[in-house]
Amino acid sequence: MAFALHAPRVNNNDDIVQVIAFRVAVGDFVKQGDIVLDVETDKAIVEVAAENAGYVLKLMCAVDDKVAVGSVLLWQGETIDEPVPETAVVAPATGGGNVRPTAKARALLKELGLDAGVVPASGDRLSLADVETYIAAHGIQRRDHIPAVTVSARESVPDVAGELVDLNAEERGMLITVSWHRDHAAATYLEVEYDPKAWEDHAAAYASANKLMLSPLLPLLAYRYVQLAKANPRVNATVVNGKRFQYQPVNLGFTVQAGETLYLTVVRDADALETQPFIEALGEVQRHAIQRKLSREETSGATLAFSSMARWNVSRHIPILPPYCSLMIAHAAPKGSGRAVLGASYDHRVLSGFDVARLLMELAKPPV
């Protein structure tokens, strides 16, 4: 009997994925877990693995096709000559788990394309509150929370010759981020000056002790930031429906410029890692970004964020808050005086200037 491989839901904002490469052809035998094709979303290029072992019977789309999440990408079979069902699209399989969802929970799960089996239930039934807690903890946005990215009816086309051009995937993702920053957060900014020499000496000593070829300055700064957030949980929170939502894990968002594309990569559960494993995890997501092969987990769910423009010798910048983050640290290059600044964009609904200034002053000092 033939079985289908469906287009995955990689980002909860995306109902469409674009096929960019096939790794297999009709007649090939693939093992479970083998990469069979690559798809692109608004955030990254993602490898799709075979869910089962079997022969490739038929490809249901072509390179550059845009297909709906849940559509059949290809058919497999246990033998090479099994018949393929006539239907072109089969509904994606769902897991369901052992706990039955309420009607409202079922409706929200359907809206988001989530499997009830992955959401922990707090009682005998999976409730709407259980699903809302899960999506907030994982940085998943409901459709009614996603900022509009279409041209407003109040906007008019400029009175200058030109044409409207569709945004590409990266531009649309950035517009969603900027729109959330504009429409939801009470965003503001502050910075403190500090002497970067202590951090530079600390990074050099760590590199020497651990035989590192590259300076670990930025990973060490980011790790210190994670530890400060772990000690000050208010930093690791957001506002949902008029209440502060306190994240349990510290998922660090870290900006990576890969060619012309800016990614916010994510190291999940960063607070549970020791220094060296954190540096390795951060290096891994950076490599994946450069290779344009980030997974869903590496591009979503950030609970706070870190950005640096020191490599371009920028001495001051004000970053945009990612959706559902209350704090983003801005690291920059030292100025001509030798002094440097650590800045922070923050959501004033969650944090006060005092909270942020105190954290920055702590971050300016390397750990003893």
| Boundary-marking domain end, from 137, 154, 184 | 137
Most confident of 5-19, 41-55, 95-109, 287-301: 287-301
CATH number at residue 21: 2.40.50.100
List the domain range (segments joined by +) for residue 68: 3-77
Residue 118 falls in which region: left (phi positive, over 0), alpha (psi -120 to 50) or beta: alpha
| Boundary-marking domain end, from 120, 137, 154 | 137
Does some domain include residue 48?
Answer: yes
Please, which residues bridge with residue 74 across strands?
Answer: 5, 59
CATH number at residue 285: 3.30.559.10
Question: 350 and 239 in contact (C-beta within 8 Å)?
Answer: yes
**Tens of pLDDT along 285-337?**
999 999 888 887 898 899 999 999 999 999 999 999 999 999 999 999 998 88
Do 356 and 302 lie in one domain? The reply is: yes
What's the structural domain count of the chain?
3
| Boundary-marking domain end, from 137, 154, 179 | 137
Do 203 and 330 lie in one domain? The reply is: yes
Could you give the 3-state DSSP secondary structure of residue 176?
helix
What percent of the chain is predicted at pLDDT more than 90?
51
Does some domain include residue 275?
Answer: yes
Do 125 and 212 lie in one domain? The reply is: no
> What is the pTM (predicted TM-score) of this model?
0.63
**Tens of pLDDT along 64-116?**
888 877 778 999 999 998 988 765 443 333 333 456 788 778 777 776 666 67
pLDDT at 269 over 50: yes
Pick from 232, 240, 237, 264: which is nearest to 248 by CA? 237
Identify how many contiguous H helices and E strands the chain contains and give both numbers: 7, 16
Q: Mean pLDDT over all residues of the chain?
A: 85
Full DSSP string of 43-103? S-EEEEE-SS-EEEEEE-S-TT-EEETT-EEEEEESSTTPPPPS-S--PPP----SSPBPH
Where residue 139 falls among pLDDT bands split at 50, 70, 90? Answer: low
- Sequence-distant (6+) residues with CB within 8 A of 57 are 2, 26, 74, 75, 76, 77, 80, 82, 84
Residue 282 falls in which region: left (phi positive, over 0), alpha (psi -120 to 50) or beta: alpha
Q: What is the pLDDT of residue 226?
A: 98
Phi/psi for 180 (5° steps) reads -65, -45
pLDDT at 34 over 50: yes
